[in-house]
Amino acid sequence: MANRSSCIALGLVLAAGLALAPAATGQQQKTTAPGLVEKGPGIEKFMRIRAPGAPTLAPDGSMYLRDWPDGVWQLYRVAPAAGGQTTIKPGDDMARLTNFKDGCTGFSLSEDGSKLLVMTAAGGNEKTQVYLLDQKNTDPATNLTPVLVNPEVVHTVQKWLPDNSGFLYTANDKSPNDFYVYRYDFTPGAKDDKGNPVAGKSTLLVGNAGSWDAGDITRDGKRVLVGEFRSSSDSTLFELDVASGKLTPIHTRVAGEGKTVSIDAVGYAPDEKSVYFLSDHEQDGVGRLYSIDLATGKVSQPIPALAKNEVEDAGINQERTLLSVSVNEDGYGVPHLYALPDLKEIALPNLDRGLAGIADIRGDTLVYTLTNARTPGLAYEYKIPAPGVPANKARQITFADNQGIDLNSFPLPQLIKYKAADGLEIPAFLYLPPGAKQGQPIPFVVNFHGGPEGQHRPGFDRNTQYLLSEGFGVLMPNVRGSSGYGRTFIMMDDYKNRWLSVSDGVDAAKWLVDNGYARPGKIAGYGGSYGGYMTTATMVEDQERVDGGRQKERLFGASINVVGVINLKTFLENTSGYRRKLREAEYGPLTDPSFLDSVSPLQRVEKINVPMLIAHGLNDPRVPVSEAMQLAEALQRRGYDPEQVYFHDEGHGFQKLENRLLFSKLMSRFLKRHIGG
């Protein structure tokens, strides 16, 4: 494993929040690096395209939202407009409420609007701290009261109490590897164990080992729906009796004893005698919406019309009068809304195809968001009609700063499907620059998603649109193991089947060549997190196909690894303890080191014979930076010199604008140098 001394061996230069390799030399890189020459509007403009984060409309008509006009996400408030028509456009006045060095990672407004929680995590380390914000005070230096503050603990706000007097949350404060469920009650005059004033007090609800969360709580606070998550295909659901601490299993009444199932609480029905939940327990493994009668155990599908596609999310408003459901249709997000308790569908406005979702429901007002290749996460206000009444027109409430670029000119992707080596059908999104045609090869980037249980979706992506403007094509495959296609597909890459997903990644490049979209050697792999593993492992598989006579020549000509896993054994040893069990279920256990070595790109690094760009955050709690350093060191020992960039103030991904800009410029120059000629 690379340690601190490896940093010296790598010859890194540390400056201004980054660690850069010296001028490229050797077989992997040219000795001269041309400047960044751009055909289109340029990476600066693309990376500065922005739209506010999903807003919340408060009862008084004001709007709370996250935005980054200064390059770092912070919380803002937009004053209520006359007549209740609050909107925010680029350049409009809004009050900045937080000034966190590393940004505001999230916020939560109580249903009655009386309390506002804000969250932050230092340097991207994911150890979320929670504060209560005084909504009458717009001075970020004095408007925060600590609520859940311990720099060694990950806190996650889960659910407001029905009377808004507190909330449910999870934390790994007692054990770094386990998340317990707590209730927090705001208590005037409360003090901690040392006599210091605090906002309230916490009460432990579930203290069992494991990764627990809270889904809903009854109006009287006596019963709570809680779940334990072990992997994307294995979770459990219980009803907790708060007074006694007794956990009554729900999952076994759904799937039977001894059968693993993915199950997640949606919430209590209006009478609180039954529960809505999501589960993939049926034979075809598709995640669907169900309800269970808590007295009889009878399970049913309350909305049969939703059974065809994967239901990815659902929620019930605080009044238990509305049920929102989001369906995953081949990667596209389609929302539905139903009245409770009779489940009559409520008409929603016609939405552009992309990722549409219901962000918030308060009273008779719904806020939904839409993102696609031409829409960077815009939000709309919608007055909910009665069941059976035709849809109203939605009102756009947030607008994008488009940097003078015509977003409507951005090309939309095409959903294609290609055959893997074993015949399995793999879905993918194909993006072509304007004027590109099949049969006229262009340089291509194959973008691998993270997870591995993630899924490429047809949403807005600045880097993708920038690459298209520069003449590159982009293919985003959802290799086996991706979510959104049912239980069977998501488990196809588990443990011993890991390399099958890698083979799917090379087959994506093969499809591009076979269908005349790209030439061999003019394709780059790109990916972050598990996608970083994929873009490195596919370089190994690509070369091994050539060495074994299964392929005439290499298909990939370059690779970009962002916060990627390189050595599965050292990754599992060094990742945050609370993630280890989850990842072992996916990749294989540490008790099987020989297998982990067999599917680790680092152990076959001699097969990596293409230029590489490696990028990582030094505060990454998920994939330690030692993974990147091991890869760089192994390549250098073979005489190669990969390009590298490290950010001292980032974690698992790059949040700050200046860091994203730097990485994107390096990425563009790297691709143009190696596959863009």
Q: Is residue 123 part of a domain?
A: no
Residue 294: inside a domain? no
pLDDT exceeds cutoff 70 at 20: no
What is the rounded average pLDDT of the residues 251-265?
A: 92
The total domain count for the chain is 1
Q: For residue 57, what pLDDT band results from cuts at 50, 70 and 90?
A: very high
Q: How confident is the model at residue 404 (pLDDT cuts 50, 70, 90)?
A: very high
Binning pLDDT at 50, 70 and 90, where does residue 35 land? low
Query: Tokens representing 4?
Result: 């601190």
Q: Could you give the residue ranges of the DSSP H alpha helices within 160-284? A: 251-255
Position 442 in a domain? yes
Asked, for residue 117, whether it belongs to a domain, the answer is: no
Q: Is the pLDDT of residue 433 over 50?
A: yes
What's the mean per-residue pLDDT of the chain?
91
The parent domain of residue 424 ranges over 414-674
Do 327 and 334 contact (CB within 8 A), yes or no? yes
Interatomic CA distance for residues 168 and 166, integer angstroms: 7
Please indicate, yes or no, if residue 670 is contained in any of the structural domains.
yes
Distance between CA 617 and CA 491 in Å, rounded? 29
Q: Please tell me the least confidently modeled range out of 31-40, 333-342, 479-488.
A: 31-40
pTM (two decimals):
0.89
Q: CATH code at 546?
A: 3.40.50.1820
Question: Locate tokens 């009273």: which residue?
Answer: 363
* Residue 588, pLDDT score: 86
Nearest Cα to Cα of residue 399 among 375, 383, 372: 375
pLDDT tens figures, 204-223: 999 999 999 999 999 999 99
Tens digits of residue pLDDT in 438-473: 999 999 999 999 988 899 999 999 999 999 999 999
What is the mean pLDDT of the segment spanning 527-553?
97
Q: What is residue 7's predicted lDDT score, i.e. its pLDDT?
A: 30
Q: pLDDT confidence of 677, banded at 50, 70, 90?
A: low
Residue 510 lies in a domain: yes
Structure tokens at 318: 């605080």
E strands of 79-154, at which residues? 95-96, 106-109, 116-120, 129-133, 144-148
Using the predicted structure, report yes or no on whether residue 270 has a pLDDT greater than 60: yes
Residue 16 has pLDDT above 70, yes or no: no
Residue 235 in any domain: the answer is no
Strands 523-528 and 444-448: parallel
Is residue 21's pLDDT more than 70? Answer: no
- Model pLDDT, residue 108: 97
3-state DSSP call for residue 643?
A: strand
For the residues 602-611, what does the mean pLDDT come to? 96
Q: How far is Cα 638 from Cα 28, in angstroms, rounded to an integer?
A: 10
Residue 1: pLDDT band by 50, 70, 90 thresholds? very low
pLDDT category at 85 given cuts 50, 70, 90 is confident
Termini Cα distance of the chain: 37
Averaged pLDDT, 214-239: 96
Range scoring the smallest mean pLDDT among 103-107, 406-410, 548-552: 406-410
Residue range 158-199, pLDDT digits in tens: 999 999 999 999 999 999 999 999 999 999 888 777 887 788
Lookup result for tokens 């408030």: 77
- Of the candidate ranges 341-355, 365-379, 579-593, 636-650, the one whose mean pLDDT is the lowest: 579-593
Whole-number Å distance between alpha carbons of 502 and 499: 5
Domain-embedded: residue 545: yes
Band (pLDDT 50/70/90 cuts) for residue 135 is very high
